[in-house]
Amino acid sequence: MTASPESDALLPTYQRAPITIVAGEGCEVIDDRGRRYLDFLAGIAVCALGHAHPAIAAAVAEQARTLVHVSNLYHHEPAGTLARELVARSGLRGAFFCNSGTEANEAAIKLARKRAHRRGEIGRTTILACTGSFHGRTLGALAATANLTYKEGFAPLPGGFAFTAFNDVSALDAAIGDHVAAFIVEPVQGESGVHVADRAFLAAACRLCEERGALLIFDEIQCGMGRLGKLFAFEVFGVKPDIVTLAKALANGLPIGALLAGERAVGGFMPGDHGTTFGGSPVPCAAALAHLRVRDELDLDSRVRLRSEQLFAGLGQLSATFADVFDAPRGVGLLIGLPVRAPYAADAIRDAARERGLLIGTAGGNAVRFAPPLVISEKNVLQALALMEAAVLSIQKR
């Protein structure tokens, strides 16, 4: 199949699949030939309430009719209300809004350094991150990303970044010295293959950061906003970080990023320290507020736990049936990775699933990734499992 003409003029930063999506409806998207696909990736962990949700559409339309843009030189109601909602729900102290995940992490890196500087700790500049991490594509967030393939050809990256082994408490103990401004970690590493942090590792990170004057940043850009079965991933792990970064699902598809700062971090930024033209614009903030409202109405956390159990059980069965193709599934809530065994390739399974009407993703280390809308039904899960089985059978025959 040839590439869609719509993409001819786009720089080839993505290897796009050969379909053109024209609409979305609930947990499905529809291509230009009218074919429907069950979307078990939800963008990439973005459309938590599914596509074209009426409450999101109404909030966007209403806000677009009222006020699309106002600079951050003035107050406006949607950003103020969203900040208050997120602060109240997280128990943290303040919010900064931007437009994407990578920008939220840039803000966190800058805040951690500025806080240390403001306290007179001039040598406290290092941002410590984990092996396997992914924090975004802008230069600072990229410097905090472990995977070298994302960094190749972009040197020189900003200095002052170091790495410690994911889930290794004694390595972390050795790495957090008084030169460390912050330790940044994903409670569940999505891009590197869906690897879950140990509760003890995150608890140790919290203790060590506090004892040694560093900030603890949880990058919840992929695993937050209800995906793990609670609004914030930190609630699932029982560990309170100093900073949480959010994006992806926050406004159910409209571009927004957020940094939430707790007691130890909240004084890091003063007027003029950081800024953005579009960050916290009225329309994405209105969409995020509608998202929070619908979450509450649906009791989404209970639904996520039920569908997670069902999907884990089904994928467990699939991996047992096709033990030559898969290892056991891993993850939390509705962020699940299914490791693929060589010589089979996750890419080929993803493509075979798409050809059968199921959209899934891949992740590092040869795994397929499931991050469906959080509103999926029992029937959707059964459909996805049947389509996965058909996809695997077709691969085995080749």
Ligand X SMILES: Cc1ncc(COP(=O)(O)O)c(C=O)c1O
Distance CA 304, CA 48 (A): 10
Minimum CB separation from ligand X for residue 328, in Å? 23
Q: Which of 135, 195, 227, 330 lies at the binding interface for ligand X (CB under 6 A)? A: 135
DSSP states of 82-122: HHHHHHHHH--SEEEEESSHHHHHHHHHHHHHHHHHHTT-T
Minimum CB separation from ligand X for residue 297, in Å? 27
Name the closest residue to ligand X (Cβ).
101
Give the total of residues touching ligand X (CB under 6 A). 15
Of 97, 218, 219, 312, the active-site residue reads 219
Q: Is 370 in the site for ligand X (CB under 6 A)?
A: no
| SS3 category, 25 | strand
Distance CA 256, CA 123 (A): 32
Q: Which of 126, 164, 167, 222 lies at the binding interface for ligand X (CB under 6 A)? A: 222
* Burial group, residue 114, by CB count within 10 angstroms (0-12, 13-18, 19+): middle
Residue 232 appears among annotated catalytic residues: no
Distance CA 30, CA 240 (A): 40
Enumerate residues 31-50 that contact ligand X by CB under 6 A: 44
Nearer of residues 101 and 253 to ligand X, judged by Cβ? 101
Q: Is 134 in the site for ligand X (CB under 6 A)?
A: yes
Nearer of residues 223 and 325 to ligand X, judged by Cβ? 223
Q: Which of 90, 100, 126, 319 lies at the binding interface for ligand X (CB under 6 A)? A: 100
Distance CA 289, CA 251 (A): 8
Minimum CB separation from ligand X for residue 246, in Å? 10
Minimum CB separation from ligand X for residue 322, in Å? 28
Residue 248 appears among annotated catalytic residues: yes
Q: Is 308 in the site for ligand X (CB under 6 A)?
A: no
Nearer of residues 146 and 381 to ligand X, judged by Cβ? 146
Nearest to 40 by CA among 314, 380, 312, 322: 380
Residue 114 appears among annotated catalytic residues: no
Tell me how crowded residue 6 is: count the other CB atoms within 10 A of its CB.
11
How many residues belong to the chain?
Answer: 398
Q: Is 101 in the site for ligand X (CB under 6 A)?
A: yes
Which ranges of the chain would DSSP assign to H, the alpha helix? 42-45, 54-66, 77-90, 101-118, 139-143, 148-151, 169-175, 199-212, 233-237, 282-298, 300-321, 346-355, 378-397
Minimum CB separation from ligand X for residue 190, in Å? 5
Task: Check if the beta carbon of residue 291 is closer than 8 Å to that of residue 48.
Answer: yes
Enumerate residues 179-218 that contact ligand X by CB under 6 A: 186, 190-191
Q: Which of 129, 221, 294, 381 lies at the binding interface for ligand X (CB under 6 A)? A: 221
Residues belonging to the active site: 134, 219, 248
Give me the residues that bind ligand X (CB under 6 A), please.
Answer: 44, 100-102, 105, 134-136, 186, 190-191, 219, 221-222, 247
